[in-house]
Amino acid sequence: MKVIEISDELYNRLKAYVVDPFDDTPERVIGRVVDIVDKAKSKWISWDAQEVAEPEAQPQPKSSSSKRSSSGQEQVGMAL
Average pLDDT per 10 consecutive residues for the chain, totaling 80 residues: 91 88 88 90 69 56 52 56
78: part of which helix (H) or strand (E)? none
Instruction: Please tell me the total count of domains within the chain.
Output: 1
pLDDT, residue 41, reads 86
Does this model's pTM top 0.85? My answer is: no
Domain hosting 24: range is 20-52
pLDDT, residue 57, reads 57
Contact (Cβ atoms closer than 8 angstroms) between residue 74 and residue 68: yes
Whether 38 is covered by a domain: the verdict is yes
Whether 24 is covered by a domain: the verdict is yes
Residues 6+ apart with CB under 8 A from 69: 75
